[in-house]
A and B are shown apart, each in its own frame.
Chain A
Amino acid sequence: MENKTDTLAVRLFGSSISYMRKSLFRILSVGPIPNHIAFILDGNRRYAKKRNLNEGMGYRAGFLSLMTLCKYCCELGVKYVTIYAFSIDNFKRKPHEVDAVMDLMLEKIQGMLKEESIVSQYGVRVYFIGNLELLNEHVRQAAVKAMEATSNNDKIVLLICVAYTSTDEIVHAARESCEAKRARVRSSGAREGNEEELKVVDIERHMYMGVAPDPDILVRTSGETRLSNFLLWQTSNCVLYSPRALWPEIGLRHLVWAVLNYQRVFPLLERRRKQM
């Protein structure tokens, strides 16, 4: 979003940096570019503590990083970006903290619906992934509205995991598959011996993340190397990367390093995929 009072010098500087970045991305594009990158946004509270800010400011700084990274991914040619915004386990945190995050989320989702938002500017289609029934009414309605409003955008897809854990997703998929099978059996009449076994495709069809392919890279910031119940099913053959930087400190160099690591192992992963 451009500030109209920017001086010419600032605008020129901004566009030359942008030009250099796009040139760097063009060089990277010589190798394979990941189709889908997932991020675990870890370290917002530690960032706020480090800078002596209150926790709410840590999350806002995190949001700015998110928008920047989405912009970079769009310029690089990444088609899907998934972020772990709020886990079901995070409901265990202090109530005022959970409320602060929910309020920020509501504010930003409503911001997405505006014409001049970054989402419209970059053609971002937004999905909210997770057990949305656990969210409060306002946030859930805003999320549904945002999904509808951005359904025509097609440059890049942003999947925001809220009230999500991978185990909950698998349980939900199992539940839906069993109900679907039961409905099929009932509608086709009780036919003994016509029972098909549950297959991988049945479960994958009912996953929340069924709208996107499996991620190629999973980035977790703040140096922690664990999955924290995020995309366990989808990251079985995904490259993991955990930079020490906290989420609000993440920058272009981390994205470039992650992509370079991916390009290094890409031939091996492709060979495995073909063999399977």
Chain B
Amino acid sequence: MKNIPPILETPKPLHFPDLAAMAAFSLPLHSSFTPSPFKPQLFRHLQRLKLAPHARPPVLSCGSNAAAVTGPTGNEVVVNGIPPDYYADGGSVQLPPSLQRELMPNHVAVIMDGNRRWAGSRNFPIVFGYEAGFRAFKRLIELACNWGIGTLTVFAFSSENWCRPKAETDLLMGLFERILRFELEHFMRENIRISLIGDATKLPKQLQSLLVDAVEATQNNSRLHLIVAANYSGRSDVVQACRKIAFKVKDGLIDPNDINEYLVERELETSCTDFPHPDLLIRTSGELRMSNFLLWQLAYTELYFTNALWPDFGESEFLEALCSFQQRQRRYGGNL
């Protein structure tokens, strides 16, 4: 192992790119010094990546310019990630051979579960888990863009997560702020529209203003509609929709007998998109629950559960989920 980066040097104030770089370098270091049962799992996804001979090896990209992180030797760090130009000619959709274009879902929802367990299993602090989770999130966005998925909803923060220790929720809010600051330019370049669902009033003021700016700045983008569920609860969404309808009834605008499913759906927070109902919901880390995410909208959604933890969710796992989706027979209660 040549030129091991000096991790135990005089500590300097860490900021976001450094932390991620440290994670990238310390991962191979830890695996060599502390053989653990998890060692094969660290690079399991790398072995499955099939690259065309002419393609560059994937690089870790975390900065706002999607720059490759290079070590002090100048070598590129090979971690699971897809460079933006891996799939050729900007704009056109190139699907892997196992997927059929006509069976691709319009809207995919993801519950990004397992960051803390991922960090815990490697004896890392929780922040590393969330940073690794963010990298997986970026991979997913790139795949969704490249494979022509129109809408992607992610469960970033549930209203039930406020029960976690304050230090952890502060850490998460800080992470969200840093992501919005560094990644907005990237989203603009990639033509990604951001929408927010959930009760933003409980989030820190700075984060709220960043979110509002991000939503406004990206509202005309059209390649991928990214819906971020922050402080969201499916039940609260339905209740607030019913509340709005109750006010309209009180004002005499509608009669209670006229209340129907269409009216309720129009008042839900997901009415910001043309496809409010996800076709596919993916939940990682093996938990078989909805955890109060998107209640009404999941009526006919195909659910896919995988044991992989969220930071390990890469192209092969996503491909597996989409292949499973394409094999399902969706009857919507009717005939075969």
Contact = CB atoms under 8 A, between A and B. Distances in A.
Interface of A: 45, 87-90, 92-94, 165-168, 170-171, 173-175, 177-179, 181-182, 185, 195, 197-200, 203, 224-229, 232-233, 235-241, 261, 265, 272, 275-276
A203 B239 contact: yes
A227 B298 contact: yes
Nearest to B335: A93
B163 A276 contact: yes
A175 B246 contact: no
B198 to A, nearest CB: 15
A89 B291 CA distance: 26
Task: Please indicate which of the listed interface residues B235, B239, B287 has the most CB atoms of chain A within 10 Å of its own CB.
Answer: B239
Given A197-B243, A224-B328, A236 B333 contact: no
B160 interface: yes
A214 to B, nearest CB: 11
Given A168-B261, A238-B289, 13 more contacts: A88-B333, A90-B334, A92-B333, A171-B264, A175-B257, A182-B256, A197-B243, A227-B301, A228-B299, A233-B295, A237-B289, A241-B288, A261-B288
A37 to B, nearest CB: 14
Interface in B273-328: 287-292, 295-296, 298-305, 328
Task: Please indicate which of the listed interface residues A197, A232, A237, A275 has the most CB atoms of chain B within 10 Å of its own CB.
Answer: A232
Interface residues on chain B, size class: 35 or more
Nearest to A268: B287
Contact of A240 (B163, B239, B289, B330): B289
A90 B235 contact: no
Contact of B296 (A88, A167, A198, A203): A167
A178 B333 contact: no
B78 interface: no
A225 B303 contact: yes
B27 interface: no
B332 interface: yes
B126 interface: no
B259 interface: yes
A227 B289 CA distance: 11
A233 B288 contact: no
B163 A275 contact: yes
Contacts of B239: 198-200, 203
A199 B292 CA distance: 17
B235 A233 contact: yes
B298 A177 contact: no
B248 to A, nearest CB: 9
A174 B330 CA distance: 29
Nearest to A87: B333
B215 interface: no
B335 A232 contact: no
A236 B295 contact: yes
B249 interface: yes
Interface of B: 160, 163, 234-236, 238-239, 242-243, 245-246, 249-250, 256-257, 259-261, 264, 287-292, 295-296, 298-305, 328, 330, 332-336
B288 A198 contact: no
B307 to A, nearest CB: 14
Contacts of B256: 175, 178-179, 182
Contacts of B264: 167, 170-171, 174
Contacts of A174: 242, 245-246, 259, 264
Contact of A170 (B163, B291, B296, B304): B296
B259 A178 contact: yes
Given A166-B299, A177-B246, A178-B256, A237 B333 contact: no
A178 B290 contact: no
A232 B296 contact: yes
Contacts of B288: 239-241, 261
B305 A225 contact: yes
A195 B247 CA distance: 10
A241 B239 CA distance: 27
Contacts of B298: 227, 232
Given A236-B290, A238-B289, A90 B333 contact: yes
Contacts of A227: 298-301, 303
Contact of A229 (B260, B328, B333): B333
Contacts of A239: 288-289
Nearest to B245: A174
A197 to B, nearest CB: 6
A203 B236 CA distance: 11
Nearest to A225: B303
B335 A94 contact: yes
A171 B257 CA distance: 10
13 contacts: A92-B332, A92-B334, A93-B335, A94-B335, A178-B259, A225-B303, A225-B305, A227-B303, A228-B299, A232-B234, A236-B234, A237-B290, A240-B290
Nearest to B280: A226
Task: Please indicate which of the listed interface residues A87, A224, A226, A241 has the most CB atoms of chain B within 10 Å of its own CB.
Answer: A226
Nearest to B330: A226
A276 B334 CA distance: 38
